[in-house]
Structure 1
């Protein structure tokens, strides 16, 4: 395209050539696939599953099926907390330069009984850092068993809505909706879903993910 414009430059006015160059640049930018970074824990890292059977891999397949030009980068780590995700994010942003950052963190904070205020501050910092890097943020919420009391579990769940509102990020309220109440869909540890549960997990996440990618 640029070679053609250079050959035509002797026959077109400077303004015409400049306009065509801008159109070519816009077309190139439009055609570039979007990069979606998933910053999660074991629920997104395919813990205990065969590779390619978790919800992130299924989402990548669905993107192709729906002709959505986006690439998923799964940067999830089993055992990750909001603090760990906050620490890792700057390097990931620099490496992948994502258009969208999907944040699925907080379950391990809750299972360890870490302060909800600290987890919420970390999520807010993750969102702020991603936005400063020109990425759109999407949050995925989780509910935990009431090991540390119902009040603690409720506060942890409520933090996702609070952060979502503060940073104006789309939110999937509970990724395990339709799964959490079915013990047969979990691995023996009763914490990590089986592969059979991940299509349901993706069904919970997909509508928001699709909209978030298209809105960027």
Structure 2
């Protein structure tokens, strides 16, 4: 049988389709950044005690990360007055309430244990169980440390402040040594109660912790 010399019907359309597909595959596509979920799990310092919601820690941290080009939502898991034991008791239902597994948990606890003069070993045991629960669920943690009030004496200070580096080493999590760095003791940055940062103080806390948050998310 004689082979036809004519090109197959619609051959040029097929070649055009292949060309367009090749161009589409070669065209750079800008990736859409996924919004990271951060859970600030702590006491009144993360809850934003005494401040309007927009000026608290979680709101200011979220705004700072977004300004730096990191799509993030910071959920407020702070409860004023919570000791480490009270926070441990609400940890699991708090996680369920998020509706999603967080990309990072910032654990800021222990200040109320210290202010009440509770035994450091007790605070350490409860924080240990909190970190173990996060690890069991494969949730990365940034641990925020706390320092003691000077009236508690050097022995208490030594035992309490050692909690945070000890647990950070045990669970191999990053440690932000002192949550109130640059703010504690500065009257112009503290509310009238002498304990909680005002909006300017929160801004300094956020500025200090943002690099650690970014590194932990990476």
Q: Which residue of 2 aligns with 1:101?
A: 105
Q: Does 1:174 align with 2:186?
A: no
Which of 75, 78, 81 aligns to 1:79? It is 81
Q: CA deviation at 1:47?
A: 0.8
3-state DSSP class of the match of 2:181?
coil
Aligned length: 185
Which of 192, 195, 202 aligns to 1:198? It is 202
Give me the whole-angstrom Cα distance separating, in 2, the residues matched to 1:204 and 1:158: 21
Q: Relative to structure 2, which stretch is displaced further, 87-96 or 98-107? A: 87-96
Contact 1:33/1:71 (<8 A) preserved: yes
Q: Which residue of 2 aligns with 1:156?
A: 160
Give me the whole-angstrom Cα distance separating, in 1, the residues matched to 2:79 and 2:107: 12
Which of 117, 125, 132 aligns to 1:128? It is 132
3-state DSSP class of the match of 1:79?
coil
Contact 2:190/2:196 (<8 A) preserved: yes
Q: Which residue of 2 aligns with 1:7?
A: none
Contact 2:65/2:210 (<8 A) preserved: no
- Give RMSD over aligned pairs: 1.5
Question: Structure 1, residues 83-117: CA drift from partner, whole Å, max 9, x if none?
Answer: 11111111122332212111000000000111111
Give me the whole-angstrom Cα distance separating, in 2, the residues matched to 1:39 and 1:55: 11
Q: Which residue of 2 aligns with 1:88?
A: 90
Give runs of ≥4 in structure 1 deviating > 3 Å.
Answer: none
Gap regions ≥5 residues in structure 2: 1-31
Distance 1:39 1:32, change over 3 A: same
Which of 50, 65, 68 aligns to 2:67? It is 65
Q: CA deviation at 1:32?
A: 4.1
Greater Rg over alpha carbons, structure: 2
3-state DSSP class of the match of 2:193?
coil
Contact 1:146/1:152 (<8 A) preserved: no
TM, length-normalised to structure 1? 0.81
Question: Structure 1, residues 53-86: CA drift from partner, whole Å, max 9, x if none?
Answer: 1222111001211221322111101001111111
TM, length-normalised to structure 2? 0.80
